[in-house]
Structure 1
Amino acid sequence: MTLPSHKETPSSSSEATTRPHISWRYIAGSMALSVAAMSIVIAMTYTPGTLEHLKPKRFPGLFLALGVSALRIYLGAARLKLFSDRQLTWPGAFRLILSWDFASAVTPSTIGGAPVATYAMTREGVSLGKSTIVMMFGVLLDHIWYSLAVPLLFITGLYFEVIPEQAGVVGGVTMMLIYIALIGYGGLLTYGLLVNPSSLKSIVKQIVRLPLLRRVKEKALVEAENLEAHSNQIRSKPPVYFAKAFGLTLGMWLCRIALPVIVILSLLPAQEVLLVLRSLAMHLSFVAVPTPGGSGGVEGLFVLFLGPLIDRAAFIGLAVFLWRMISYYISIGMGMFAFSWYARKV
């Protein structure tokens, strides 16, 4: 799936960007990994007659799960609209968040959804420099959330088994390193965007000195100047702006964390508090999964973190399937539809 080229004019607010390309191979590969992982989990846990133990009175919880997923999308659109200083319309903000989710779900983690989101934002009339800083500010807020969530896990870990025993010593150390890296990266972003924006420009200047990047040196330096200018604009925002931005970020993450908890409780009773803490730890661990959309890896982490809390092992596969269906497959379908709007836009 390739976005078509656009004829740019000097006056256009959508500066030319490199057209992102999402290969059908990425989409098929990501979905194949997810299906394979779910199939393995279901094959290893399913027993005949499992569905007979389902309680219809719990099924409305699945509609609540869908509502929470929809709320996350709304909060994501509202956050983008806020970051763009209201330049994005509501339809544009929804198209953008759905396209971003789609790209993140089907591209390798080394690529991610940011290039597609940046390009899509320019197609919505937001300048390239501002689009880039919007992406970076969003990442910054996510890492500020990580910086708050990690100490919370450490403290609650004194009273609850947040890291499952099945992870072992190696798994526990790995989780610890991931959490430390998240806090460290968040600190660097905070310094670069909010404390000393000129450091970003200095880093770009050093990077573009590499021989392979000399062709884009001039454009990169211009964009570095724009980044510094937009960073200064963010720093000048009133406290209420940052409160709204972080509130929307917090809401998005709470929706993500709540979704697998609600899915499990829609099937059978479980330890609610421990489910929430394990879901938080699990989501922070997703950043280390290198596959497109975390496919194949996040299913395994679900089993590792939340599987032991599901009393009937036969329900583990069903829980994984329902969670991925709501959080992943529906996102791909809606995202492809939203993404196609940019392909049709002339």
Structure 2
Amino acid sequence: MPLTQDSQEKQLLDKLKPSRIVLPVLIGLSVVGFMFWRSYQPGDLAPLANAKLHWLLIMVAVLVARDWGYIYRIRHISEKVLSWRQSLDVIMIWEFASCVLPSAVGGTSVAPFLLNKEGISLGKSLAYVMVTALLDNVYYVVTVPLVVWLAGDALYPHEALQGGFVTTLQVAFVLSYLMVTLYSALMLYALFINPQSVKRLLVRLFSFKGMRRWRSKAYQHGNEMVWASAQLRGNAARYWVEASLSTAFVWTARYLVIGCIIAAFVDMSWGEFGLIFSRNLIYKVVLLVAITPGGAGIAEGAFPTFFGKFIGTPTMTNFVVLLYRIVTYYLYLVLGAIFLPRWIARVFGRNRVKEVMNS
């Protein structure tokens, strides 16, 4: 039997209850703790005494700018139906959802629900979330060739992996890029040219033996594309320019954070800073296949492979991993646990807060 709206809301709120922060925190901190235990040597953390305060301030500014960019983008994409307060709540809970759900699922799965509860129709909510997903993918598709051209073979962590592992990573990176490119092209065609044909293609594709179990989801996704197309057609060029620029802004800021943290403790050239930025796109591929909430444990464990050579000792690298995850992951677990009850009280009423917290 299909779920009622109340049942769907209960399921989604259950996914977001603050108690879910316990597991990813335990996984992430356990991995970092093990890494410290395995590598610690007296004196390895000496660079902390010479930390460059201006780079730490730049890191904070980049984080604030990134969040402001997300808030601005969702308000713009929603055609300013959302107030600044509503936009802030949506982004904080969206980020929280990305932290407590597996990376492959992410906050996008609950975003239409958030927008719908802010008074936006379901059709438009799905359309706005699809726009953000499409623009995120297009940024990746455009940026990858640029970083490959600039970084060359140094894009891959040869210094940390043997030849066979590097080749596997290269193949995974290329395949992921091709899949994102293909999916982006399909979404562009569906949203702006012929959504019905894409819907039929998806249904036929998932009608083959071995893929039929996902046919209903493919049909649902096809319907969502049709609804989204109907909502988005007619938007002026300025709408898409601002949405694209804000997307480029937030993702560029997101990829700058690691470089800013490392620069606070290690002297580096601008070329190395650019290479760190470039390796973020490879690092992202690893996080996309993570099955743990928010990539907990996997993000920490993979970090030294991609960025360790720029930092120095394993112990110092582990400290940078911990700081990076604090400001980009654990912070949003805490903020989500603060914003979520207030949002539930505002949207559902205070009685629902107790129900969610105690479930």
TM-score where L is the length of structure 2: 0.81
Question: Which range is displaced more, 174-183 or 323-332?
Answer: 174-183
Provide, for residues 6-45 of structure 1, a one-character-per-residue CA deviation record: whole Å limited to 9, x for no partner.
7xxxxxxxxx866502256642222222112212222233
For the pair 1:144 / 2:129, whether they are aligned, the reply is no
Unaligned runs of 5+ in 1: 7-15
- Per the alignment, do residues 111 and 170 of structure 1 end up closer, same or farther by CA in structure 2, a change over 3 Å counting? closer
Corresponding residue of 1:263: 261
Corresponding residue of 2:73: 79
Provide, for residues 106-162 of structure 1, a one-character-per-residue CA deviation record: whole Å limited to 9, x for no partner.
11235422232221211211111111111111110011011112212332243x500
Provide, for residues 160-200 of structure 1, a one-character-per-residue CA deviation record: whole Å limited to 9, x for no partner.
50011034222222222222222222222222222322235
Provide, for residues 66-122 of structure 1, a one-character-per-residue CA deviation record: whole Å limited to 9, x for no partner.
221121111111111111111100000010011000011111235422232221211
- Per the alignment, do residues 139 and 335 of structure 1 end up closer, same or farther by CA in structure 2, a change over 3 Å counting? same
Corresponding residue of 1:244: 242
Residue 135 of structure 1: which of 122, 129, 135 is its match? 129
Corresponding residue of 2:355: none
Question: Which range is displaced more, 169-178 or 126-135?
Answer: 169-178
TM-score where L is the length of structure 1: 0.84
Cα deviation, residue 312, structure 1: 3.4
Cα deviation, residue 262, structure 1: 0.4
Answer whether contact 2:127 2:232 (CA < 8 A) is retained. no
Corresponding residue of 1:112: 106
Distance in 2 (CA, whole Å) between partners of 1:211 and 1:316 is: 44
- Per the alignment, do residues 259 and 74 of structure 1 end up closer, same or farther by CA in structure 2, a change over 3 Å counting? same
Question: Secondary structure of the residue that 1:134 maps to in structure 2?
Answer: helix
One-letter code aligned to 1:194: F
Cα deviation, residue 256, structure 1: 1.0
Corresponding residue of 1:183: 181
Answer whether contact 1:19 1:119 (CA < 8 A) is retained. no
Answer whether contact 1:179 1:284 (CA < 8 A) is retained. no
Map residues 1-346 of structure 1 onto 2, 5 A cutoff. 19-20=11-12, 21-22=14-15, 26-56=20-50, 58-158=52-152, 161-165=154-158, 166-167=160-161, 168-199=166-197, 201-202=199-200, 224=223, 228-270=226-268, 271-345=272-346, 346=349
Distance in 1 (CA, whole Å) between partners of 2:178 and 2:23 is: 31
Distance in 1 (CA, whole Å) between partners of 2:314 and 2:79 is: 48
Answer whether contact 2:123 2:231 (CA < 8 A) is retained. no
Question: Secondary structure of the residue that 2:313 maps to in structure 1?
Answer: coil
Distance in 2 (CA, whole Å) between partners of 1:232 and 1:341 is: 33
- Per the alignment, do residues 144 and 34 of structure 1 end up closer, same or farther by CA in structure 2, a change over 3 Å counting? same
Corresponding residue of 1:11: none
Corresponding residue of 1:10: none
Answer whether contact 1:26 1:292 (CA < 8 A) is retained. no
Distance in 2 (CA, whole Å) between partners of 1:344 and 1:309 is: 46
One-letter code aligned to 1:151: P
Distance in 2 (CA, whole Å) between partners of 1:251 and 1:181 is: 23
Cα deviation, residue 211, structure 1: 9.8
Answer whether contact 1:286 1:294 (CA < 8 A) is retained. yes
Provide, for residues 180-226 of structure 1, a one-character-per-residue CA deviation record: whole Å limited to 9, x for no partner.
22222222222222232223554687799989999xx9xx69x93x7
Question: Which range is displaced more, 170-179 or 263-272?
Answer: 170-179
